[in-house]
Structure 1
Amino acid sequence: MIASRNILDITSVRNDFPILNEVVNGKQLVYFDNAATTQKPKQVLDALAAYYEHSNANIHRGIHHLAEKATASFEDTRRRVQKFINAPLAEQVIFTYGTTDSINLVAQTYGRRFLKEGDEIIISTMEHHSNIVPWQMICEEKGCILKVIPINEDGEILMDEYEKLLTERTKIVSVVHVSNALGTINPVKEIIQKAHAAGAVTFVDGAQSSSHLTIDVQDMDCDFYSMSLHKIYGPTGMGVLYGKKEILDAMPPYRGGGEMIKEVTFAKTTYNELPYKFEAGTPNIADVVAARFALDYVDALGKENIAAHEDDLLKYASEALLDIEGLRIIGNAKDKVSVISFVIDGIHHQDIGVLLDQQGIAVRTGHHCTQPLMQRFGITGTTRASFAVYNTIEEVDRFIAGLQKVKRMLS
C-alpha cells in the first residue's frame, strides 16, 4: 500500500482542531465528511470569540472606535480573499452567504439584465443542485434553453461533446471546478477559453476546489468564481463571489436595503459602488472577520503540502477499498481531489453510513445534491468519504476495518 509522505506534522495540525477529540458512540471521532464542511482550527474559533468580546459593532456606518475597528477587520478579510484567489482588485470580491447564494446572485442579476428568449446556458452532468436550479429558474423566467455537457464512465467531461453544444446563442457556461460527488477536477481553463471564443460568459463553482487547489482567477480568466469559506476551515454562512469588474458594474443589485445605496428619496434611489451595491444590510460580520484566519492557516501550511497529503490519503484509501469484494468506486477521473464515492453490491448506502457512525466514523451518504449525476450512473446514491489536512492513514485503516465489519454484518 501507498505510505504517506509526511510532508506536514499532522499530529501538530490535529492539535489545532479541538473537535477531533470528540468521542462518538464510545470511539474517537473519525471525520470523513469534509466535502460537506471542514472542521475549524483554534485560530478561527479564537478569532470569532475575540470579535464578539472586543470588536462587536456594525460596520461602515459608525465613527466610534468599535465600528471603525470592526470595519477595518471586515475589509482586511476582503483584501485577504483578493490575494487568496489572485483577484485584480479587492472591490471584485463580493461577500455572500455561500456558493449557492453567489450563483443565485449572478443568475438573478446578470441573467435578468442580459438574457433573452432563446439564449442558451450550458452546465455539466456533474453539477451540484445549486448550479442547476438557479439556471433552470432563470431559463423558465426568460425563455432560455439549458444544455448539459455529458460525462464518461470515469466521471470526466466529454470535451468534444461540449464543443458541439456551443453556439452563437450560448450566453453562459457555468461549471463546477471540482465535483463534490466524484472528486473530478474539471479542465476549467480550457472550458473557459472555448466559451469565450463562442462569446459566452463563464461561471466557475469553486466550492470544492478552493480548499484543495491553488486558485488564480486571472490565469483562469473566468468571469465569475464562487467559493464557500466553511469548506476551507472557515465559519459557515460566509461565501465569496468574484467577478470581472466591468461585468459587476453592469449588473443591477440583487437585494435592496441599507449599505447598497448612495442616496434614497421616495422618487429614486441611486446605488453604491462595488462591492457594496451587492451587500445589502448588516452582513455576517463575525464570520467574515474570522474567515481571514482560516485563509492564513491554509497558507501557513501551504496549499501544495495540503494537496500532497490529501493525495496520499486518496491513493491509500482507493487501493484499500478495492480489496473489499463487491465495492465499486464511482468516479475514477485521472485528475481528482481527495473524495471517494462508492457503492457495495447488495448494501444500501444509508445502512453503511449508519453502521460506520456507530463506530465513530462520519461519512456522507445519499445523492450529495447531484441527483442527475446519480441517474447518469444508474444509482440512487453513494457512500462518500472525503479527506482533509487533519486526516491520517490510521483513520483510513479504521474506516476500511469498519467497512469490512459492515459487510460482514449485512452480506
Structure 2
Amino acid sequence: MSVSHTPTARVGEAVATAAPAPRHWLRAGWLMTASGWSANQYSSLLGAYRAHLGLTAATTTALFAVYVLGLIPALLVGGPLADRHGRRRVARAALGLSALATCLLMAGPAVPALLWPGRFLTGVGAGTLLTAGSVWIKELSTPPYGTAPSPGAAARRSGLFLSAGFATGGLAASLIAQWAPLPMVLAYVPHLVLSAAAALSAARAPETAPPRGPHTAVAEPAAPAHRTPFRRLVVPVAPWVFAAPSIAFAVLPALVDGRLHGWQTVYAGIITAVTPGAGLLVAPLARRLSARHRLATAATGLLVTAVGLLIGALAVAHAQPVVALFAAALLGAGYGLCVAYGLTEVAALASPHHLARLTARFWALCYLGFLTPYGVTLLTGAFAPSTILTGVAALALLSLAVLLRPGARSSA
C-alpha cells in the first residue's frame, strides 16, 4: 500500500519545502559595518594626533572635515555607478579603496602629509559604499531575495549595520591607541581585518541589479514624483543625521577632558561608542513612532538632538565629562531616529530605478552635517563654545518647525 499521501508524509513534505530564506542581506551588511568603522576609527584618535604628532586642534578638525570633501561627490556618483555596473561590483571596489585609505592613515605618523589623502580617500570609499551598499542591502531584504516585512524595515537595516561600525570602530581604535605600541598604526589594523572578512562574506550575496550597457536608456518621468516630498520631508532632517554625532565625537571630548589626565583617548573612544550605540538602541522606538505618524520619528529625533546639544552646552560650560557623556548619548539617539526616518522615507518615495540616486542624495545631505565641528571650531574665536552649542540647538528646533509646517504635513 502506498504511503505517499498519508498525513505524516504530507507533514514531512511541508517541512522539507519550508526551508528558511537565505539571509543574503546579512552577508552584505558587513560592508556597511566596515564603512562605519573606517569613518569613526579616526574620530577617537583626534587627541592622540594632537599629543603625539603635535597637530593643532584646527588641523585635526580640518582632517575630520576633509573626509566629507571626498565623501559627498562619491555619494552623488556612487548611485549612477551602482545602477550601471551593479551593486555588488561597486560596493566591493569601494571597500578596497577604503582599505587603501586606511593604509595611508597607518603611514601618517611617519609621513603626516599622507593623513590628508588618507582621510580624503576614506570619504570617497565610504560615500560610494554607502550608496551601493544601502541599496543592495535593501534589495536583498525584499522578495525575491529576502522576506523583510516592509520596504521601510528593509531600508533601516543598512543604518543599523552602519551604526554598529560607528560604535565599535572608534572604541576599538581608542583602546589600542591607549595601551598598544605604535598606537596610530596598530589602531587601524582591525579595520583591515574587518574589510577582508566583509569582502569574503559579501562574495556569497547575489547581485540584485545586473550591469547594463552605457547606452542603455531607462525611461524616467520629466519630473519625478518624489522631488517635492523629498525636499519637504527629508531635506530639513538629513543634515542632523551626522551633525549630532559629529559634535559628540569631535567637539565635546576636547572641551571637557581637561581633568582626565592620561585618559583622554579612552574617554574619546567611549563617546564614539556610546553615541552610535544609543542610535542602535532607539531602533525599536523608531519603528513604533513611524507606525503612529509619518513625521513622528523625525520630530522626536530633532527634539532629542536639541536637548542633547543644550545638555552638551551645560557640560562644556562647567567642564563635566560625565554630563557630556549623557549629552553624547542623547545626540546618538537623535542620530538613530533621524537616520531611520530618512532611510524609510527614501524607500517609500523612490521608484526602483530612482532608489540608488535618491539614496545617494540623502546620504550626501546627511554628511553635510560632518562639517559642523569645523564650523564650531571657526566660531570659537568669537563666541564661547557653550554659546555656539546653544545656537546649534536653536537651529535644530528651527528645522523641526520647518518639518512640521503645514506644507510639509500635507506632503505626509
TM-score (ref. length: structure 2): 0.28
Structure ranking higher in helix proportion: 2
Structure ranking higher in strand proportion: 1
TM-score (ref. length: structure 1): 0.28
